[in-house]
Amino acid sequence: MSNRMWGGRYESAPAAIMEEINASIGFDQKLWRQDIRGSLAHVAMLAATGIVTKSDAKAIAQGLQSVAKEIESGTFTFSRALEDIHMNVESRLADLIGPPAGRLHTGRSRNDQVALDMRLWVRDTVDELGVQIAELQTALAEKAAQHADAIMPGFTHLQSAQPTTFGHHLLAYVEMLGRDASRFADARKRMNECPLGAAALCGTSFPIDRHMTAKELGFDRPTANSLDSVGDRDFALEALSAASICAMHLSRFAEEIVLWTTPQFGFVKLSDKFTTGSSIMPQKRNPDAAELVRGKTGRVVGALNALLIVMKGLPLTYGKDMQEDKEGVFDALSTLSLCLAATTGMVRDMEPQLETMKAAAGVGYATATDLADWLVRTLKTPFREAHHITGRIVGLASARGVGLEDLSLAEMQGVDPRITRDVFAVLGVEKSVKSRLSYGGTAPANVKKQAQRWLKALAKPKK
Ligand code: ARG
């Protein structure tokens, strides 16, 4: 059988392997809602502009609704011979309503049709991801408010650096996720132009109304250049890029959960809901969900890379290579959605081990900076000199195998005779944390305020 859509010039059917490499219906059937939505908007415009008669338009619209019902209820048979979702829908429409179906494709092409469908899908998905990010932020900010003063070690180089609080640490991720959400929102703004009506690549001679279809489909305006409209996928790349950065953030947090749940750290506990046991080692509780969030990030970043490579050598405008945008975009964005949901679940589930974290916060001379700051403040020592004096005191404590607060005043005065008993007030982890009141600093009073600020902002419904 020669092809129903372009059979005019074609005498024979494609080779089996041609059909296999060419067909996208196996994955682009995911776009059926967007495809039908786009066609409904298109046909309403064709009728409004008098390009098709009102009665044909009515038949087409009703036919499209029937196709939608068939797909929704699972009775629709997708055919690989019909290549993609666009031709599957149109062919079924012809079965259902006969000749008027042939008028639907007036003034458009599969090139603008697929560009539209993908934009709609990515836009819908980006909106859902925005909601999920806000849910995760809320879970984190609630935990942070609850543990604003739970002391834990802050790390640089994964070495104990200064004491911080669990709440402050969680709020760092709330900030990162806030930027992730704003990256998606930016991408959405730029992608919100309608390519429908660019037709194959040069627009059309029919008196179509692109402003009407753009408005109907919720776009801010139609795209301004027809070649660009069918020839770029930067909207998908931007979404993948925002997704990659977000996944990277989730992966870092997942890595921390993996570390924190080891017996060596013991900072948090996850319940049976988010861990698995070992088939051979009865003592094990493996943080599989966290490991998978970390691992799946590779797929998301991989999809971004893959599409950049697909696009980078393509001359304008559409090339069939661009069909390769779909699987990666679908997989990456649904993977991110799964990772966001799993991370939200883990945050709600996790129980910080307050005593263990606090004990760890004092290890490794984490209050050495407080000692140096005391020397600067009280003795007016220049900071560089204070750093040296502190270094020698830390060396002394380390040689004796004790904490800074365990040294005697005499021992400290052996290093610098100006030191007084007051110094002990700053050597405890609580004092250290409370004193860091600079804006954005770790003091529990700050952390409480920041957590409340976020919770208030997150509770507000978005425009
Ligand atoms: N299935 C195609 C894709 O996903 C639709 C566009 C086909 N256009 C064409 N001129 N062959 O890219």
Q: What is the 3-state secondary structure (H, E, C) of 237-301?
A: HHHHHHHHHHHHHHHHHHHHHHHHCCCCCCCEECCHHHCECCCCCCCCCECHHHHHHHHHHHHHH
pLDDT at 290: 97
pLDDT at 279: 77
Distance 182 CA to ligand 1 centre (A): 31
pLDDT at 276: 86
Q: Which two tokens stand for residue 259?
A: 């570390």
Question: Which residue's CA lies nearest to atom 4 of ligand 1?
Answer: 323
pLDDT at 8: 75
Instruction: Check pocket membership of 233 for ligand 1, CB cut-off 6 A.
Output: no
Instruction: Check pocket membership of 114 for ligand 1, CB cut-off 6 A.
Output: yes
Tally Cβ neighbours within 10 Å of residue 398.
Answer: 13
pLDDT at 366: 86
Q: Is the pTM above the cut of 0.85?
A: yes
- CA 273-276-279 angle, 5° bins: 150
Instruction: Check pocket membership of 31 for ligand 1, CB cut-off 6 A.
Output: no
Instruction: Check pocket membership of 139 for ligand 1, CB cut-off 6 A.
Output: no
* CB neighbour list of residue 253: distance below 8 Å, 6 or more residues apart: 173, 293, 343
Instruction: Check pocket membership of 138 for ligand 1, CB cut-off 6 A.
Output: no
Distance 454 CA to ligand 1 centre (A): 44
Determine which of 88-102, 266-280, 410-424, 435-449 has the lowest per-residue pLDDT on average: 266-280
pLDDT at 1: 46
pLDDT at 4: 65
Instruction: Check pocket membership of 323 for ligand 1, CB cut-off 6 A.
Output: yes
d(CA 446, CA 434): 9
d(CA 302, CA 78): 29
Contact criterion met (CB below 8 Å) for 232 and 195: no
Distance 321 CA to ligand 1 centre (A): 9
Question: Which residue's CA lies nearest to atom 1 of ligand 1?
Answer: 84
d(CA 332, CA 313): 22
Name which of 278, 333, 260, 273 is nearest 301 in CA terms. 333
Q: Name the more confident of 358 and 7.
A: 358
With 60 as the cut, is the pLDDT of residue 463 above it? no
Question: Which residue's CA lies nearest to atom 12 of ligand 1?
Answer: 323
Best probe residue, ligand 1, of 320, 321, 326, 330 (max atoms within 8 Å of C-beta): 320
Best probe residue, ligand 1, of 80, 84, 109 (max atoms within 8 Å of C-beta): 84
d(CA 273, CA 89): 43
Instruction: Give per-residue pLDDT as tens, 233-264.
Output: 999 999 999 999 999 999 999 999 999 999 99
Distance 317 CA to ligand 1 centre (A): 12
Which numbered atom of ligand 1 lies nearest the CA of 318? 10
Which numbered atom of ligand 1 lies nearest the CA of 85? 1
d(CA 124, CA 34): 10
Distance 320 CA to ligand 1 centre (A): 6
Distance 364 CA to ligand 1 centre (A): 61
Instruction: Check pocket membership of 111 for ligand 1, CB cut-off 6 A.
Output: yes
Q: How confident is the model at residue 6 (pLDDT cuts 50, 70, 90)?
A: low
Instruction: Give per-residue pLDDT as tens, 163-216.
Output: 999 999 999 999 999 999 999 999 999 999 999 999 999 999 999 999 999 999
The secondary structure element, H or E, covering residue 152 is strand 151-156
Question: Which residue's CA lies nearest to atom 3 of ligand 1?
Answer: 323
Instruction: Check pocket membership of 110 for ligand 1, CB cut-off 6 A.
Output: yes
Distance 314 CA to ligand 1 centre (A): 15
Which numbered atom of ligand 1 lies nearest the CA of 84? 1
Match 């019902």 to its residue by tokens.
69
Question: Which residue's CA lies nearest to atom 10 of ligand 1?
Answer: 111
Instruction: Check pocket membership of 322 for ligand 1, CB cut-off 6 A.
Output: yes
The per-residue pLDDT of the chain, averaged, comes to 95
pLDDT at 278: 75
Distance 392 CA to ligand 1 centre (A): 71
> Collapsing DSSP states into helix, strand and coil, what is residue 159?
strand
Catalytic residues: 157, 278
pLDDT at 462: 63
Question: Which residue's CA lies nearest to atom 11 of ligand 1?
Answer: 320
Q: Where are the alpha helices (DSSP H) in 350-382?
A: 354-362, 368-379
Q: What is the mean pLDDT of residues 339-352?
A: 97
pLDDT at 396: 94
